């Protein structure tokens, strides 16, 4: 079988991985010289802890297994089974963390409510004031800026993979066949459109009523911290945005403890991961209204800096990079992904939202199983 994958991000590359692993030939087409969208502009978190139960959690857990397996085959991914800590302050935040550990699926997520002293044993960099922390053992991390590069190197080594950058697919010209903007036709048994947040052009023509929206966020990265941050770190505002934390305790937190005004205005939470070079990737904000602003907002970065410094009890290293990114999210946010046949032999796979990096291996595995690869 010959599979054409359109899109060079992590979802597209994982579809290529699944196809090659099953013995097929793959041509992957990317409109840029390299993928430049959400697949590179994220935390690199394999984030199991906050996922909704049922299908979403099952997908995240399966993806976590696949990431670890692929990471063993491709060391350049930088897979680390580091877990995450969410420090909590005050009775309301503590109650939300405690309620999370009482969920029926708490063990599958690796939830444990630990004391501040225990949290510092797990992550000694957390020297700031807090009473306890939610430890999530199943969370992990990879290096988002380089993951696709190393995956493609491994795919090329099979002799059954071709990467064609700098080509935009413009037209479906037959069953399993597309034409790019160079005039070349690429024929296969299946075409997978994994174009991320690029939902215009051919995607709009094929699926004009697509139930997917675009979301913008801001992030930053620092110079090396100078010491290990042995886990990823979230703040209690993250409880407000992840479905796993829904509970009466969360209702009480929302009713009785408002977010800081800047955090509420931009739907903010702290997520923080250390990169292999020692720097910290820190975010994020969320913007849903179109058209998106073209500039980044300094107040948001200042708020995140204050939160990080309160946990680390030290100044944040110099900020070296700031950026905004856009990802595609199903308008029905309970759906893990939107998978749709849009033409004969052509499938569109998009809309995982902030779950794309986490869930991409399992999303691609499901596509492969459903299409009989």
What distance in Å separates the CA atoms of residue 182 and residue 72, rounded to the nearest whole number? 37
pLDDT at 36: 79
Sign of the C-alpha dihedral computed for residues 177, 181, 183 and 184 taken in this order: negative
d(CA 214, CA 152): 27
Is the backbone peptide bond immediately before 285 cis, with ω within 30 degrees of 0? no
Q: What is the pLDDT of residue 324?
A: 94
At 347 the three-state DSSP class reads: strand
Regions of the chain where pLDDT drops below 70: none
Tell me what pLDDT residue 40 has: 78
What's residue 34's pLDDT?
83
Q: Which pLDDT belongs to residue 254?
A: 97
In sequence order, the 6+-apart residues with CB closer than 8 A to the CB of 210 are 199, 203, 204, 338, 348, 350
């Amino acid at each position: 079988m010959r599979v054409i994958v359109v899109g060079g991000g992590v979802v597209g590359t994982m579809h290529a991985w699944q196809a090659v692993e099953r013995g097929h030939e793959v041509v992957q087409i990317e409109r840029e010289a390299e993928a430049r969208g959400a697949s590179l502009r994220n935390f690199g978190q394999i984030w199991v802890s906050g996922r909704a139960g049922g299908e979403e959690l099952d997908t995240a857990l399966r993806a976590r297994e696949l990431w670890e397996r692929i990471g063993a085959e491709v060391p350049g991914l930088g897979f680390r089974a580091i877990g995450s800590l969410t420090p909590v302050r005050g009775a309301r935040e503590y109650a939300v963390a405690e309620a999370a550990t009482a969920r029926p699926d708490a063990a599958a997520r690796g939830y444990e409510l630990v004391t501040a002293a225990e949290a510092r044993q797990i992550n000694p960099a957390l020297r700031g004031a807090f009473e306890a922390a939610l430890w999530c053992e199943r969370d992990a991390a990879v290096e988002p800026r380089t993951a696709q590069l190393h995956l493609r190197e491994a795919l090329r080594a099979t002799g059954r993979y071709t990467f064609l950058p700098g080509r935009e697919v413009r037209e479906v010209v037959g069953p399993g066949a597309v034409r790019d903007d160079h005039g070349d036709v690429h024929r296969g048994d299946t075409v997978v459109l994994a174009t991320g947040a690029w939902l215009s052009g051919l995607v709009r023509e094929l699926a004009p009523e697509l139930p997917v929206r675009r979301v913008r966020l801001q992030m930053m990265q620092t110079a090396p911290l100078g010491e290990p941050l042995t886990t990823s770190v979230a703040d209690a505002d993250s409880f407000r945005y992840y479905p796993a934390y829904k509970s009466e305790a969360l209702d009480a937190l929302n009713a009785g403890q408002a977010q800081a005004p800047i955090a509420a205005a931009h739907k903010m939470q702290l997520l923080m991961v250390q990169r292999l070079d020692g720097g910290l990737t820190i975010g994020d904000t969320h913007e849903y209204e179109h058209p998106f602003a073209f500039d980044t907002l300094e107040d948001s970065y200042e708020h995140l800096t204050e939160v990080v410094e309160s946990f680390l009890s030290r100044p944040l290293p110099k900020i070296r990079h700031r950026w905004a990114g856009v990802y595609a999210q199903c308008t029905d946010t309970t759906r893990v992904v939107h998978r749709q046949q849009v033409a004969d032999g052509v499938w569109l796979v998009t809309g995982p939202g902030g779950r794309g990096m986490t869930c991409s291996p399992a999303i691609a595995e499901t596509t492969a199983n459903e299409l009989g690869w």
